[in-house]
Amino acid sequence: MIEKMRSVCVAARASRKDELLLSLRDLGILHLAVKRAADPELTERFDALSRLSQELKEYEVKGRRGRELSDAEFDETYRAATAALAEKTSNNARLAELLLEKERIKDWGDFDPREVRALADVVELHFFRMDKREYRALLAREDFSFIRLRPVGKQEAVALVGKPDDALSATEFRLPEKSLSELENEERELRARTAACDETLADSAACLKSYAARLLEMRNEVEYSAADASLESSDGIVWLSGYIPASQTDRFTAAASEHAWAWMMQDADESDAGVPTEIRYNKVTVLIKPLFDVLGVVPGYGEYDISFWFLAFFALFFAMIIGDAGYGTLFLIGTIVFHARTKKIMNVTLLMYLLSATTIIWGALTGTWFGLEAAMDVPFLKALVIPGFANYPEYFDVTASQAQNNVMRFCFTIGVIQLALACVMNIRRRIARRSLAWVADLGWLLAVCALYFMVLYLVIGVAVNIPVVAAVIGVGFLLVVLFGGMSPDKSFSQGLKAGLADTFTTFLNTISAFGNVMSYIRLFAVGMASLAIAQSFNDMASGFGGPLVVVGIAIMIVGHALNIVMGFLSVVVHGVRLNLLEFSGQLGMEWSGIAYDPFRVLKNERDKRK
């Protein structure tokens, strides 16, 4: 459920500003309504330390651990690592230049360019390389004086005396600043210095725990600075405005009484876009939290907490899109191994257990085990299959079209259940708020159910009474038009006018609702595509026998791994979409919430919410 919030303003004398901030930070429940930027210099130092910490992770040596550093030792280590990283960057840039220069001059041999320049002070010389044809053309000209040099690679090389004619078709060689041997010496020196930098960085990387501790300390300083900048002041009084969970009211008032703060509190307004959202998960719905964190979605304070429904439908969508019990078994084994290695029961681990189980169940019901038809020769696996849903229906005296139509009908049924659930949730909320708009949601419920039968008629060819279906859609449309603009703050006539004004929008939304029901066919389509890919790789692999069986095995492993990766992408594109767009859209959710992030002492990096 979404935690009820209260809007709070707390004030104290300006002379007690630091005490106010420190006490609020220790209390750790006030989400600042307006959070201004922290001191730029402090932020810049934190960013620099954060970047260096990330860089140092590349220099960690397995088994090499440093001790905890004192503040003075850390400062020295930080300066040394920063200098080493800067020097290495500079060295790498110079090395790249050296390698290019060596490549350019290596065919000309090792010579001292200073001696050549000294000669050029007496006689103007220009050096060229050319192919045989260009060289013969040069020989035929009497207006040039040149000296033939040792060939450079497969080309002729000449030293031209005097300024060359623009008509000369050849590539001029620019004298280097250093000889080839000097460049090689500089390269060796740079590589040695770079190795020393790497050693310094490895020493610092061994102390990453100290870096993490300093980062956390600086992050807390940044947060404190931001809160300090967010203080309002006037006439010797400072104050902060923000939000606290209603369940923390007693803690706040006790702290206010202890520190003699002045304060004002009221229930947060749901229409206020600045109210943060704190979701209170239970033992079941907490499983979906890792996915919400990855997606970065937060419902608005006045919206629904659909964690349970999101989890339930997502698990089903995941199973249908992956669609293979063999893959589900691999997921389960991988999850067990991960669980055994981490020795922790994490939400993401439990979520993978759930997704693995639903995938195995759906794959078993459809008879899909790594896309192998031979699985149906196993009596136990065959007994698990629902004949009407079988991916190999010929084993159950069911035609392919019948099985496909059954699965498509199941997809549309899931869709109408989810969309109808959204309508029922809206009806309940509107009735609780004494808003006549619930009648419009009833209209949507009628329209969605009728559109479901229309979809079955158009896609599968199910016989339905079209006039009745059309009439129900019309009634639903009329209810939405008449009551869609109703709200507690409007009179009946005002709501009626608002609804009528949106008639065309309602018409478009009705068409969109038809598309939403149709959209659930993607569960069937993506699942069938995954099966077809698995079967294709199996067929390819079966063509390799005898000594080449290893090739066939490699094709199966690579092919199924690729199919699993594409399946995960499909889950994100399609499985998540059905929840975040179709279902949430019917609920009227925009996922525009702000995560509850109180001003507090951060004790580890995971404390900081994104």
User: Cβ contacts of residue 250 below 8 Å, gap of 6+?
Assistant: none
| Spatial separation of the C-alpha atoms in residues 568 and 572, rounded to whole Å | 7
Q: How far apart are the first and last CA of the chain?
A: 20
DSSP one-letter code for 243: E
Number of H helices, E strands in the chain: 22, 11
State yes or no: pLDDT of 609 exceeds 50: no
| Spatial separation of the C-alpha atoms in residues 416 and 425, rounded to whole Å | 14
The pLDDT, as a whole number, for residue 608 is 53
The mean pLDDT of the chain is 92
* Two structure tokens written together for 391: 């991916």
Name the residue among 98, 114, 111, 113 with its Cα closest to residue 184.
98
Name the residue among 46, 59, 57, 48 with its Cα closest to residue 82.
48
The pTM (predicted TM-score) of the whole model is 0.82
User: Cβ contacts of residue 80 below 8 Å, gap of 6+?
Assistant: 200, 204
Tell me the pLDDT tens digit for each residue of 20-68. Answer: 999 999 999 999 999 999 999 999 999 999 999 999 999 988 777 777 8
- pLDDT-derived band at 167, boundaries 50, 70, 90: low
The pLDDT, as a whole number, for residue 605 is 59
Average the pLDDT over 184-199 and give the result: 95
H/E/C letters for each residue in 331-377? Answer: HHHHHHHHHHHHCCCCHHHHHHHHHHHHHHHHHHHHCCCCCCHHHHH
| Spatial separation of the C-alpha atoms in residues 447 and 487, rounded to whole Å | 21
Maximum separation of any 2 CA atoms in the chain, in Å: 106
- pLDDT-derived band at 139, boundaries 50, 70, 90: confident
State yes or no: pLDDT of 211 exceeds 50: yes
State yes or no: pLDDT of 130 exceeds 80: yes
Contact yes or no for 284/315 (Cβ under 8 A)? no
Please name the amino acid found at residue 474: G
Chain centroid to CA 155: how far?
54
Angle at 35 between CA 31 and CA 40, to 5 degrees: 135
Tell me the pLDDT tens digit for each residue of 345-354. Answer: 899 999 999 9
State yes or no: pLDDT of 260 exceeds 60: yes
* Two structure tokens written together for 274: 């600045």
Name the residue among 297, 325, 316 with its Cα closest to residue 354.
316
Q: Tell me the C-alpha to C-alpha distance, in Å, between residue 18 and each of 190, 229, 472, 555.
A: 51, 12, 65, 66
Average the pLDDT over 282-298 and give the result: 93
| Spatial separation of the C-alpha atoms in residues 225 and 46, rounded to whole Å | 12
User: Cβ contacts of residue 358 below 8 Å, gap of 6+?
Assistant: 315, 316, 318, 319, 328
The pLDDT, as a whole number, for residue 610 is 40
Tell me the pLDDT tens digit for each residue of 481-491. Answer: 999 999 888 89
- pLDDT-derived band at 451, boundaries 50, 70, 90: very high
User: Cβ contacts of residue 208 below 8 Å, gap of 6+?
Assistant: 53, 56, 57, 60
The pLDDT, as a whole number, for residue 66 is 73
State yes or no: pLDDT of 163 exceeds 80: no
